[in-house]
């Protein structure tokens, strides 16, 4: 299983949301076709056809839950 697939599996399980590395989550979102916009610590991901945006922030190398 590749790294992207492992991260996707962890996200879909939802049991380890606070243990997902920030860089891995960013890579997953980019792989899924999201566009990234950065404002300070806020990384905002948008995708055509998806009304909600995804706003994630790093905390000690992990994605802030």
Q: What is the pLDDT of residues 7-38, one digit of tens each?
A: 999 999 988 888 999 999 999 999 999 999 99
Domain 3-64, second-level architecture: 2-Layer Sandwich (3.30)
Query: Strands, E, within 1-65: which ranges?
Result: 35-39, 42-47, 50-56, 58-59, 62-63
Residue 1 has pLDDT above 80, yes or no: no
pTM: 0.90
The per-residue pLDDT for range 38-52, each reduced to its tens digit, is 999 999 999 999 999
**In DSSP terms, which residues pair with 56 in a beta bridge?**
43
**Would you kindly state where each structural domain of the chain is located, as residue ranges?**
3-64
């Amino acid at each position: 299983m590749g790294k992207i697939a492992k991260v996707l599996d962890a996200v879909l399980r939802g049991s380890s949301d606070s243990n997902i590395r920030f860089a891995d989550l960013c890579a997953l979102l980019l792989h899924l076709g999201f566009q990234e916009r950065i404002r300070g610590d806020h990384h905002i991901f948008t995708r055509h056809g998806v009304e909600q945006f995804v706003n994630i922030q790093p905390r000690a190398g992990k994605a802030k839950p």
